[in-house]
Amino acid sequence: MIRVAEEVRGASAVVALETTLVAHGFPPGEGVQVGLASEAAVREGGAVPATIGVLDGEIVVGLTADELHRFGADARKLGPRDIAAAVTQRAVGATTVGGTLAVCRSAGIKVMATGGLGGVHRGWPTPPDVSADVQALASARVLVVSSGVKSLLDVPATSELLESLGVPVIGYRTDDLPLFYAAHGGPPVSARVESAAEAAGLARAHWEIGGGGLLVGRPPDESLDDAEPLIERALAEAGAHGVRGQAVTPFVLSYLHRESGGRTLAANRALIVGNARLAGEIASAIEEPGSRFLHQPAVDVHASARPKVLDDVPVDRALVDPADERVRPA
């Protein structure tokens, strides 16, 4: 049921890429160009790209360029719940971040790149729309590089949900989560890294202690700071047209691309390709022996979690009865 391209099978450092943005994130024809440019960027970063989608009754890990051209606007959008149906019904299926992560889990791929993660929609619980991307990320041992979460969402609520689910939100050379088009202004990240190697070390440490997915937020190189009023208009327009569920993102993106005179389109393309390059660098660094030890103090969770007053208490006693120790310091 899963066909893994030969080059992907033989590679140690692999970056998964989704097909929803190819099929539904850009005007016809342009998504494929963005997909191919992302693949080239992964290679520049030092890894092998594996673009994922469903074709002819198979989950394909590592689509060829010819196959990628079949992912047009009529492709089904596949979250994790939709993959099996697309396989058995032999549909052309474009995987979202969540759908791609579900495939990464079975294929053993550790890094993925995208534009923006899905999350909690504005106005929750009306509509009660939370992207399956979030749960998929929490449960897959995959590091996702994005420019934060999609700007049309409730970004602070999505950040809170990621914390609840134990997903580290790492800022790549930033202290706050990028807002997709805008480089800054999101909620604070849970840790900041300065390099791909540092991100790789942090991911390996997270997985060593049994953790699942991680989000690395990379700010776009050129910040588009005036998109917000346009996003609000796009969402109002979507509501007025009764657009719901999986159709919201494609509707809003094409509205923005049209109304901004192509500025959001150029920004979206550039940030996706930049994220793919960084993901390539991180994937290749993850495979370096010893990357876990590059920044060991930053992941010494016990040291930072222990209350100050317990600093001199032997570790085993501190763990047995910390509350008691606080009253009667040793």
Chain residues binding Mn ion by CB under 5 A are 129, 131
Residue 181 structure tokens: 């088009």
Q: Which of Mn ion, ligand PSU, none is residue 150 near (CB under 5 to 8 Å by kind)?
A: ligand PSU
Strand partners, 149: 117
Q: Please count the other Cβ atoms lying within 10 Å of the Cβ belonging to residue 305.
A: 7
Instruction: Spell out, one character per residue from 212 to 231, where the chain touches ligand PSU: x when CB under 6 A holds, - when not.
Output: --------------------
Closest CA to 264 of 152, 165, 173: 152
Instruction: Spell out, one character per residue from 94 to 113, where the chain touches ligand PSU: x when CB under 6 A holds, - when not.
Output: --xxx---------------
Q: What is the distance between the alpha carbons of residues 63 and 30, in angstroms, rounded to a whole number?
A: 17
Q: What is the distance between the alpha carbons of residues 122 and 125, in angstroms, rounded to a whole number?
A: 9
Residues 63-92 that bind ligand PSU (CB under 6 A): 79
Q: What is the distance between the alpha carbons of residues 31 and 37, in angstroms, rounded to a whole number?
A: 10
Annotated active-site residue 18? The verdict is yes
The 8-class DSSP code of residue 236 comes to H
* Binding segment (CB under 6 A) for ligand PSU, from list 3-11, 188-196, 205-213, 246-254: 246-254
Residues 2-61 that bind ligand PSU (CB under 6 A): 18, 20-21, 24-25
Out of 158, 159, 174, 246, name the contact with ligand PSU by CB under 6 A. 246
| Beta carbon of residue 316, minimum distance to ligand PSU (angstroms, whole number) | 45
Q: Which of Mn ion, ligand PSU, none is residue 318 near (CB under 5 to 8 Å by kind)?
A: none
Assess 269 for contact with ligand PSU (CB under 6 A): no
- Cα 187 to the center of its chain, rounded Å: 16
Residues 187-206 that bind ligand PSU (CB under 6 A): none
Annotated active-site residue 208? The verdict is no
Q: What is the distance between the alpha carbons of residues 107 and 9, in angstroms, rounded to a whole number?
A: 9
* Complex with ligand PSU: residue 174 or 254, whichever CB lies closer: 254
Q: Which of ligand PSU, Mn ion, none is residue 204 near (CB under 5 to 8 Å by kind)?
A: none
Beta strands in 7-152 (DSSP E): 14-17, 48-55, 58-61, 76-78, 93-95, 111-113, 143-146
Assess 268 for contact with ligand PSU (CB under 6 A): yes
* Complex with ligand PSU: residue 171 or 220, whichever CB lies closer: 220
> In this structure, are residues 177 and 169 in contact, taking their beta carbons and an 8 Å threshold?
yes
Residue carrying structure tokens 């890990």: 61
> In this structure, are residues 224 and 182 in contact, taking their beta carbons and an 8 Å threshold?
yes
Q: What is the distance between the alpha carbons of residues 44 and 41, in angstroms, rounded to a whole number?
A: 5
* Binding segment (CB under 6 A) for ligand PSU, from list 2-10, 37-45, 67-75, 127-135: 127-135
| Beta carbon of residue 90, minimum distance to ligand PSU (angstroms, whole number) | 22
> In this structure, are residues 38 and 113 in contact, taking their beta carbons and an 8 Å threshold?
yes
Q: What backbone phi and psi angles, to 5 degrees, belong to 71?
A: -90, 75
Size of the site for ligand PSU (CB under 6 A): 20
Q: What is the distance between the alpha carbons of residues 290 and 288, in angstroms, rounded to a whole number?
A: 6
Selected catalytic residue, list 18, 39, 198, 281: 18
| Beta carbon of residue 66, minimum distance to Mn ion (angstroms, whole number) | 31
**Per-position b or e across 195-206, b if 16+ CB within 10 A of its CB:** bbbbbbbbbbbb
Selected catalytic residue, list 77, 110, 150, 198: 150
Q: Which of Mn ion, ligand PSU, none is residue 254 near (CB under 5 to 8 Å by kind)?
A: none
Q: Which of Mn ion, ligand PSU, none is residue 97 near (CB under 5 to 8 Å by kind)?
A: ligand PSU
* Interface positions with ligand PSU (CB under 6 A): 18, 20-21, 24-25, 79, 96-98, 115-116, 118, 131-133, 150, 246, 249, 253, 268
- Residue positions annotated with a catalytic role: 18, 150
